[in-house]
Amino acid sequence: MKIEDIIKTTSPMAIGKRTVLNIMYTQNVLSERFNEILKAYDLSPEQFNVLRILKGQNGKPTNMCVIQERMIAKTSNTTRLVDKLLLKELVTREICPDNRRKMEIAITEKGLELLAELNPKVECHESVLTQNLTPEELEQLNYLLEKFRTINQ
Amino acid sequence: MKIEDIIKTTSPMAIGKRTVLNIMYTQNVLSERFNEILKAYDLSPEQFNVLRILKGQNGKPTNMCVIQERMIAKTSNTTRLVDKLLLKELVTREICPDNRRKMEIAITEKGLELLAELNPKVECHESVLTQNLTPEELEQLNYLLEKFRTINQ
DNA sequence: ATTACATAATTATTTTAACAAAAATTTAAT
DNA sequence: ATTAAATTTTTGTTAAAATAATTATGTAAT
């Protein structure tokens, strides 16, 4: 469905505005479907994101600032996010021995199991969304988005 | 910058996952820049969205449910959003004479002025973001996003 | 050694979002 | 006419986001 029909605009839009709206709206559709999956596991997208970052570290504990840096959407409060994960026993938190200002966060076995359980659903979500596009089109879409983000000046 | 470098993943990602992340991340960059513009005018993106919808109605008052329907991100509480705009005198709210359950929201002169003031900044934002892509690439990006959203099943 | 500055994380406060429940009105059915 | 169901909006409650301020530790300069 064309973005014009979705927001039901009367006047024709400049291509730039259309593109921006299209990206915004597409992300929205994406997030809604994804949240649907996570809701059954009582995880917020941000919590999931943190778990995935921790898993990506292959067991190596990770500081709060590294987590914050790697999140897709920069959250303003990683502490409370990790608090929630701690309550669910999905992560551990310890003071870094080298630098007592820092914290070392690590994913637990339970956290890894949750990710493993979620993984097929997430993959399914991703493939349902991408099945309409050929591999070439997907490459092109990624290329265009990356080019779009490159802001000169 | 490639999405892999942004989220600093070690292992290669499937094209589907990469695409999903790329869309999410791009929207994020977009929103952050856009919010920066709005902040100076003490408007949230949702409030701006509502004003734009009302302007699109060319003075014709609009019901709450129509506003809700046309928003990019479906908000769960249009009432409170409109409350904020009312306080700033950017909109009016009246009971619909035909159907007393409904409300008629309209943008005020002050609201239109604010949009007019904001417009060049928003257009600039859009053109800075799209200047890297040729008109053909922009058309292609829109086409791919629309195709991506078409979920069969 | 003391001071100032920088960094890392937490806490506090105010706004906003999400969700469910309620209120008001209209429409439809008996 | 009464009751039930549907629609539209509002309100209440709880959770989460945004921002600023604070605490704690570390680093560098005098």
pLDDT at A51: 96
**Whole-number Å distance between alpha carbons of B143 and A144:** 12
For residue A65 the two structure tokens come to: 């600032």
pLDDT at B6: 86
The answer for B114, left when phi > 0, alpha when psi is -120 to 50, beta otherwise, is alpha
Q: Is the CB of B76 under 7 A from strand C?
A: yes
DSSP string covering B15-60, please? HHHHHHHHHHHHHHHHHHHHHHHHHTTT--HHHHHHHHHHHHTTT-
Bridge partners (DSSP) listed for residue A106: A92
What average pLDDT does the segment B2-8 reach? Answer: 87
For residue B103 the two structure tokens come to: 């409300």
| Chain A nearest C-alpha distance from B17 (Å) | 6
Query: Does A60 touch chain B if contact means CB atoms closer than 8 Å?
Result: no
**Whole-number Å distance between alpha carbons of B131 and B136:** 12
What average pLDDT does the segment A14-43 reach? Answer: 94
Average of per-residue pLDDT values in chain A: 93
Longest dimension (CA), chain B: 62
Residue nearest to nucleotide C23 (CA to C1'): B101
- Looking across all nucleic acid strands, the nucleotide with the smallest C1' to CA distance from residue B81 is C16
CB atoms within 10 A of CB B40: 9
| Cβ atoms B71, A24 nearer than 8 A | no
pLDDT at B76: 80
Closest A-chain CA to B135 = A15
Find the Å distance, CA of residue B14 to C1' of nucleotide C21. Answer: 44
| Chain A nearest C-alpha distance from B142 (Å) | 6
Query: Which is more confidently placed, A76 or B43?
Result: B43
Task: Please say if the pLDDT value at position B11 is more than 90.
Answer: no
Cα distances from B31 to residues A27, A75, B45, B69, in angstroms, run 11, 14, 8, 21
pLDDT band at B51 (very low <50, low <70, confident <90, very high): very high
| Chain B nearest C-alpha distance from A38 (Å) | 16
pLDDT band at A152 (very low <50, low <70, confident <90, very high): low
Q: What is the pLDDT of residues A40-85, one digit of tens each?
A: 999 999 999 999 999 999 989 999 999 999 998 888 899 999 999 9
Q: Is the CB of A80 under 7 A from strand C?
A: yes
Cα distance from N-terminal residue to C-terminal residue, chain A:
34
What residues 67-86 of chain B have any CB closer than 8 A to a CB of chain A?
70, 72-73
Q: Which domains does chain A have, with CATH numbers?
A: 1-40 (no CATH), 43-124 (1.10.10.10)
The DSSP letter of residue B131 is T
Give the residue carrying structure tokens 């129509």. Answer: B66
